[in-house]
Amino acid sequence: MEYQLPKGTHDMIGTQARLFEEVSALMKQIATIYGYQPIHTPIFEHTELFLRSVGESSDIVRKEMYTFMDKGNRSLTLRPEMTAGALRAIVTEKLDKTSDLPIKLFYLGPAFRYERPQLGRFRQFHQFGIESVGVTSYFNDVETIILGAHILQALGFKNLVVKVNSLGDSTSRDNYRRALKEYFTPLIDTMCPDCNERLAINPLRILDCKVPHDQELAKGAPKMDQHRSSEAHQYLNEVLTRLSDYHIPFEVDSQLVRGLDYYSHVVFEYHLSDEVGKTYGALGAGGHYDKLLEELNGSPLAGVGLAFGLERIVTLIDKLDISPDFSHLVDVYVLPLGEQQLPYAFATATLLRNAGLSTDMAYETKSIKQLLKRATRAGAKYALIVGEDERKREVVTVKNLDEEIQEEVKFDNLINYFQSLYGHHHHHDHDEGCDCEDGSCTCEGEECECNEDGCQCKEHK
């Protein structure tokens, strides 16, 4: 039997997997810079959690959830998104009652939706997101939007614009739903079956329909700003003012409602285009929520969050050719010339690994030509050749595979040799007498100099 991947799943191998890890690491790093802490929640939860949080009118709940009965006849669902689990964990662990506010969490892991697979979108995908819970302040919303823009800019995306809308407070949304129902009721017989269901459950969802005919009808629908309360309108204006202050490009999109029922007030999406105006759609999205934690039996605390699908991000990085240089996947590849050299080669690789250099080695007896080809295929920058003569003299031959030059280095000096290649890391201990101000600098060697800024490495000036 030939085993195939299930539809809507994919493998990540080699440079694609490396890019995924780089993107993941950068997102986590930036979230940490903004004061967020990691959280890990189960991949599956009780189905009721998603019914209450995501909303029964959403396409996710109606069409896309992977739901099953376990052996105890309990209904469980693979998480279709990760906000619900994070907020459930806040309630379960009583963080809403014991922690300083806001509670700031970030997560990264697989999620599952049964939808039509397409470029950068899969049935199993990875989602990175943040949640900031416990403070009702437009600054919290602004910080979240800026953090998302920071991530995308750091990944190399340009020509970004944040589409923003406000769904208003509960009174605003109730008024708006009534207006939409009144507008769409005479038209609904000409619209898709999904919109017929949405009209009864939540007319706001009609604005998110992707059927071209229905999209045209939605253009004539009442706008949210006609029904938004003065307080909600002021909240939105404060957010937009701060985005302008911090030079975040944005545009107000009255059709933007997002696909999850728990949002209120500000919602947003990050959209990308290229230099000639071609659009690539949304890279990520998020919004404000007032009642979600309370609906999950927690404290009545507001929150705001955002999420990115990593497969979509990685696909676009590759498509736009803004990927980091992965030509060197390892620093060093050790080449033993003969089985007798294996112990010495292994000791060399272990030494370099302990010093933090990514190192691989060959274990087979092959010609030097074949081994050098293998080192090149492995993406190594340097090959370390270990023959019988090198072993006896306790040296290695270091070959720069980019520049095709090589030199001998003593085994005991290998670490210093590579430190000099990758950067000068020594430091000065001022407690031991290095004092440039009184002229008594005790640093040795020409690599250091003293000036009004203190004792410095010339290489890093």
Please compute Rg for the chain using Cα positions.
29
Place of tokens 């689990």: 85
Task: Identify the pLDDT of residue 447.
Answer: 46
Task: Identify the pLDDT of residue 359.
Answer: 95
Q: What type of residue is 205?
A: R
With beta carbons less than 8 A apart as the criterion, state whether 32 and 26 touch. no
User: 412: burial class by Cβ within 10 Å (0-12, 13-18, 19+)?
Assistant: exposed
Place of tokens 């101000």: 437
The CA angle 95-98-103, to the nearest 5 degrees, is: 45
Q: Is the pTM of this model over 0.85?
A: no
Place of tokens 């890279």: 283
Which residues in 178-278 belong to E strands, given as ranges? 250-252, 264-273
Spatial CA neighbour of 10 closest among 143, 152, 118, 104: 118
Spatial CA neighbour of 152 closest among 6, 309, 44, 4: 309
Give the strands of the sheet with 405-410, arranged side by side.
359-361, 330-336, 380-386, 395-400, 405-410
Pull the structure tokens for residue 449.
């100099």
Spatial CA neighbour of 223 closest among 199, 235, 207: 207
Which structural domains are found in the chain, ordered by start?
Answer: 15-169+229-319 (3.30.930.10), 330-422 (3.40.50.800), 430-460 (no CATH)
**244-257 as b/e: b if 16+ CB within 10 A:** eeeebebeebeebb
**363-382 as b/e: b if 16+ CB within 10 A:** eeeeeeeebbebbeebbbbb
Q: What type of residue is 88?
A: R
With beta carbons less than 8 A apart as the criterion, state whether 53 and 47 touch. no
H or E stretch at 330: strand 330-336
Q: What type of residue is 272?
A: L
The CA angle 17-23-28, to the nearest 5 degrees, is: 125
User: 443: burial class by Cβ within 10 Å (0-12, 13-18, 19+)?
Assistant: middle
Written as tens digits, the pLDDT of the chain (461 aa) is 889 999 999 999 988 899 999 999 999 999 999 999 999 999 999 999 998 877 665 667 777 899 999 999 999 999 999 999 999 999 999 999 999 999 999 999 999 999 877 766 799 999 999 999 998 899 999 999 999 999 999 999 989 999 999 988 888 888 888 898 999 999 999 999 888 988 888 888 788 788 999 889 988 988 888 888 888 899 999 999 999 999 999 999 987 876 566 788 899 999 998 766 678 889 999 999 998 999 999 999 999 999 999 999 999 998 888 887 777 778 999 999 999 999 999 999 999 999 999 999 999 889 999 999 999 998 899 999 999 999 999 999 999 999 989 999 999 999 999 998 876 444 444 344 444 444 444 444 444 555 544 455 444 33
CB hemisphere CA count around 233 (13 angstroms): 8
